[in-house]
Chain A
């Protein structure tokens, strides 16, 4: 007498609700911005309008290994890619973690990123082997100085400048 709705509609609604809970417990990859950098880890804020008060998370950087380490600066945008298991600790366990856990920072561009030149590998920071560093600006100014010296110096044996000049071929970006 009091059965107002059919079993079929109730069981479908039940399944929908259970499914929604299970899906929410799985992590989604989310856009983020670097707030600080500590060692090989970045602390990022999650950039989604969710209604949740999402905490900042400290995660590793994609492509950041012992032999190749890419530069990251505060304010860089990226994606906090979800793996589902803890990645920061050295001994991850195969179990379902919190849905903000187990992420890695992948830098990505967005509409505000200034494209320097799409045809070139652009590096605006230093190259380093851990002990010494240089950078493209330093290399270019030093190479230009070398070219100038090579084309103007006088040989000590003859006292004459070089017979043929060395072009050096430093091109401006985009050429």
Chain B
């Protein structure tokens, strides 16, 4: 059984059941240095009063949980989890034909502005980023897990967005990512210690190599996989479908082992019967 729960300002609002409303979600989860667009949530079948007052949700925090609940043999409830949390940037209702729905445009948070990086000679990049982000997000809980990158000269800068700050930081530490999840910001350059298994049952289609050392695949919706999660694909017996591969390579096993997740996209259409309509697309790099 597909399962979802949507909280608005930590209050449960909609959730899956036999009579649940249909929802559509398209949530891209990436680090702040690699923006992939805002998240979309659309809730169908809402009454007209809800459509009329949809503006009430703007500025509120939305948490979307998804995955599979108990039910069919292959459904694995342990894969259910938080897909994304963010702030409603826009919310509007629509009544078109027989469709009545409200649509949420969700952003990670207010866009931080006027960020000043004071990276003093001899201090670590992670600490300098933490200080800069503390000023930009005064209420955020910021964790720095990076290995130290230190310079013997001052390297200050000013940036209008976290995106600009994060892309500069990557020039000194290519693995460094800044991840914002609700009120938590993590600066890290390491994969998470705990690994999640992608079993062959979970795949929708074939994994493919999409870039140097980067693999992309689609699987059943996984709320338990987040950025920097380590995924274990040792059990996957899948072919190499890279376009340029020789015929013999296509029949070989693809790279198995451990990968670090760099990008997650959750796509969902609760009432659509297609497997791909409740799925997660993941990009990950080899470890």
Contact = CB atoms under 8 A, between A and B. Distances in A.
Interface string B148-173: 00011111111111011001100100
A88 B154 contact: yes
B159 A25 contact: yes
A24 B168 contact: no
B153 A21 contact: no
Nearest to A96: B171
Contacts of B117: 98
A15 to B, nearest CB: 14
Contacts, number: 67
Contacts of B171: 95-96
Contact of B156 (A1, A2, A25, A55): A55
B241 interface: no
Interface in A1-58: 1-2, 20-21, 24-25, 50-55, 57-58
A2 B112 CA distance: 29
B154 A21 contact: no
Given A98-B157, A100-B156, A101-B157, A21 B167 contact: yes
A25 B158 contact: no
B96 interface: yes
B123 interface: no
A153 to B, nearest CB: 60
B160 A24 contact: yes
Contact of A101 (B94, B96, B154): B154
A94 to B, nearest CB: 11
B118 interface: yes
Contacts of A25: 157, 159, 164, 167-168
Interface in B98-123: 103, 113-114, 116-119
Interface string A90-115: 00000111111100000000000000
Given A20-B160, A24-B164, A89-B151, 12 more contacts: A52-B114, A53-B114, A55-B118, A57-B156, A86-B153, A89-B152, A95-B171, A96-B171, A100-B157, A101-B154, A101-B155, A101-B157
11 contacts: A21-B164, A50-B114, A50-B158, A52-B114, A53-B114, A98-B117, A98-B119, A98-B157, A99-B157, A101-B153, A101-B156
Interface of B: 94, 96, 103, 113-114, 116-119, 135, 151-161, 163-164, 167-168, 171
